Structure 1
Amino acid sequence: MMLTDLPKHWVPEINLLVKELGYTGEVLVSDEGDAVSKIGANVFDVARQLIDSTLVGLKATATIYVAVVADAERSFQACAVELGGDEYCILIWLAAVARTSRALSRLLETPSSVDFFKLNVAAPKIETVPQGQDTFTAYQAISLLPNASLGETGDQFCSHLTSMALEWLVLHELGHIVNGHLAMGGSANDLRYILEENPSASQDENLTGQALEVDADCFANQHCLHRSLNRPNILDDSAAHEADLLAGRLKAYLFSFLSILRSFEHSPFAIETMFHFDHPPGGIRMNYLLAQMLAIENEGKVNFKGVDLAEAAAATTAALERSISQATGINSQGGNFLSVISLSDDAFRKPVLSRWAKIYPELNAVKLTPGKLAPPQYPPA
């Protein structure tokens, strides 16, 4: 089994980078014949095949390695790294997959998810969490519990959602690389990097970071959407109308990547602090990705067979939030997803996309793909 294709001389350098970033993880390099090695090899294979097929389609020639990181503290992270000489690496924390699978299994056994996906699973066995926590802390906590047993159908569907979430995470990091974002990244151990969740004390730098995150989100969404809508899953009904079949697959895809976005959130949304972080609030990211999907539909790039995208997104978001409340025993009141729906464009999009316009020329000059980047929507600022 292969765990990484990083050349040997880069492994200690990456390990040092991980340490300098404040983590206790190391790149998996040797197959120990244990469960960790098996999962790591599977993550590597999925990422490797996905990156290779995407790069062929993009006609990009850069060398992009894959490394799986095992972290004693089970941190939930991914990282894009520029090694130099047209070589890059995507680091995937093993916990990103394990914790996503565990959280999804806990969500899928709730009454909300059972009803939303028409799942046939045993009665939910909801484990309690300490009183007084909000759903953001509690959602992190349920991702550390053992996987819930959902039966053959439920377990397969959970695996399907986990795979889509992993692909979204990998393609998000690939988007950082091919769209030239590392030119704006941080630096440690003489390597350039963009780390999932690396806020700056400078709001100006966070605005740049949020612009890059929205672009990487859109890159991942563009590629994952096509893959997910064309991928059968165990809940497919062969007798269903084409529109109903597509709607089911769309909702499964939305649920998978929304579960990832929700896991990055650590506190309730507050407009006063939304630029204190280098990642936009999850609800804003969801709204922007929905707008992108609507644009893709209007351009005729995907035929949604009459499925109402806005309605599907709203229903999936509500189902996810209800599932989180039921799985944790805490009423989220909509969490960060539903609380940003009424946020005006001037409050978020204008500052962030004006920053995008400012950095656009530099990024467009260093991107790895022949195509142009998404055009600016506001004047530079």
Structure 2
Amino acid sequence: MLTDLPNRWVGPINELVKDLGYNGMVLVADEGDPISDFGKLVFKNTRHVVDRIIDHMKITAKIHVAVIVDSAQSFQACAVELDDDEFCILIWMAALIRTSASLSRLLATPAAREFFALEPELASVSEVAHGENTFAAYDSLSLLPRIDLGDVGNDFRRYLEFMASEWLVLHEIGHIVQGHLAVGKTVNGLTYILEQDPSVDRDYNITSQALEVDADCFANLFCVQYSLGRHHILERDGASHDEVVVGRLKPYLFSMLSVLRSFDHSPLNLETLFDSDHPPGCVRMSYLLAQMLTMQSETTIDFKGANLVEAGGLAAITLERAISEATGVNSQGGNLLSAVSIPDEVFRKPVLSRWAKIYPELNAIKLSPFKLARPQYEPA
């Protein structure tokens, strides 16, 4: 199966994608080719993630899944409201292909192999991505062919790919479940929230960034719980409870950070922080690592005795080292370090106080009985 989107919505979705400036369409026809086969896998994995959260949260609304093939763009994903209690998550196939390619090359680096204690028989990496800076180099890395990591390495790569896509899908579900589409944009009768949709309206951008942070945290909460319950191929027998927790968190942290890292195309600039309706990837990385510490302090999740500061820091450092080794361009994690040091009043206060302002409206229209995250500041 390639999509469960009803036929009556395929045309409007294709028109929406076109109106937004993309050269893509819903994958519907099964041609029996590699694109169709990969589309089936993307649909199956996405549908699994959606169904799991629907069952867990007792959601009665319909949430469809559609895979977008695009001849020109490597866009990520989009949440769309079709009608009352009917929604759709659009997943761009190219984004997952590029994620697979970049993860294969990151896992081939000494930094990643040391981090995961991964020692497969690796194919010779003849091509190394280059760029004028670390952002261009990391982007070009995903355009190179995926490399063979051997049986164990390829299996682990697929595990990371699934968790990266799971986070992306849950982020979009967060937009739907938390009522965010009430303040989304509408084109031709369809309301949507688009990943990386630039706007010149600073006031709108602050509201949108608040929604993005909330959707990030929604995805992070469930992904952390899911990852802690999963055994993976590199997990060793006889490990202590603390070692198991850290060992299961590391693949999730690495995959999630690798996705968010790709959202940045230039060094962090505080003066342009609100020139987009999405926070910079490094700011989102910093916020989600901090959220995990909040989960631990509030005992929302039992992390046993795991040192989350060390686990998160090592994952971020390893990612930067791996990017440097795979591309030949070294950033030394400057963007994330800059994000961590942003004064509270510069980012969190304006964004989270805006979240507090729209909280009552969203809480009234959310799709589940679960409480939304509590506002951390006075409304503004």
TM-score normalised to the size of structure 1?
A: 0.96
Matching of residues 108-123 of structure 1 within 5 Å = 108-121=107-120, 122=122
SS in 2 for 1:97: helix
Question: Paired residue for 1:245?
Answer: 244
Q: Is the 8 A contact 1:65 1:89 kept in 2?
A: yes
Question: Paired residue for 1:156?
Answer: 155
1:138-175 deviations in Å (ceiling 9; x for gaps): 11111111112111111111110000001100000000
Q: Using the TM superposition, give the Cα deviation of residue 72 of structure 1 relative to its aligned residue in structure 2, in angstroms.
A: 0.5
Give the CA RMSD over aligned residues. 1.4
Q: Is the 8 A contact 2:130 2:327 kept in 1?
A: no
| CA distance in structure 2 between the aligned counterparts of 1:274 and 1:109, rounded to whole angstroms | 34
| CA distance in structure 2 between the aligned counterparts of 1:323 and 1:153, rounded to whole angstroms | 19
Moved more, 210-219 or 180-189: 180-189
TM-score normalised to the size of structure 2?
A: 0.97
- The amino acid that maps onto 2:17 is V
Matching of residues 80-229 of structure 1 within 5 Å = 80-121=79-120, 122=122, 125=125, 127-131=127-131, 133-229=132-228
Matching of residues 280-359 of structure 1 within 5 Å = 280-359=279-358
SS in 2 for 1:353: helix
Aligned identity (percent) is 58
SS in 1 for 2:267: coil
Q: Is the 8 A contact 2:128 2:141 kept in 1?
A: no
Q: Is the 8 A contact 2:79 2:173 kept in 1?
A: yes
Change (3 A) 1:64 1:238: same
| CA distance in structure 1 between the aligned counterparts of 2:345 and 2:123, rounded to whole angstroms | 45
| CA distance in structure 1 between the aligned counterparts of 2:129 and 2:107, rounded to whole angstroms | 17
- The amino acid that maps onto 2:243 is D
1:301-320 deviations in Å (ceiling 9; x for gaps): 32212111111101100000
Q: Is the 8 A contact 2:180 2:362 kept in 1?
A: yes
Q: Using the TM superposition, give the Cα deviation of residue 335 of structure 1 relative to its aligned residue in structure 2, in angstroms.
A: 4.0
Matching of residues 1-150 of structure 1 within 5 Å = 2-121=1-120, 122=122, 125=125, 127-131=127-131, 133-150=132-149
- The amino acid that maps onto 2:106 is L
4+ runs deviating over 6 angstroms: none
Q: Is the 8 A contact 1:23 1:71 kept in 2?
A: yes
| CA distance in structure 2 between the aligned counterparts of 1:206 and 1:279, rounded to whole angstroms | 7
Alignment coverage as a number of residue pairs: 379
- The amino acid that maps onto 2:315 is T
Change (3 A) 1:123 1:215: same
- The amino acid that maps onto 2:327 is T
Q: Using the TM superposition, give the Cα deviation of residue 128 of structure 1 relative to its aligned residue in structure 2, in angstroms.
A: 3.3
SS in 2 for 1:340: helix
Q: Is the 8 A contact 2:217 2:288 kept in 1?
A: yes
- The amino acid that maps onto 1:220 is A
1:39-62 deviations in Å (ceiling 9; x for gaps): 111111111121112112111110
| CA distance in structure 2 between the aligned counterparts of 1:167 and 1:72, rounded to whole angstroms | 24
- The amino acid that maps onto 2:66 is A
Q: Is the 8 A contact 1:126 1:327 kept in 2?
A: no
1:258-281 deviations in Å (ceiling 9; x for gaps): 111011111111111111121112
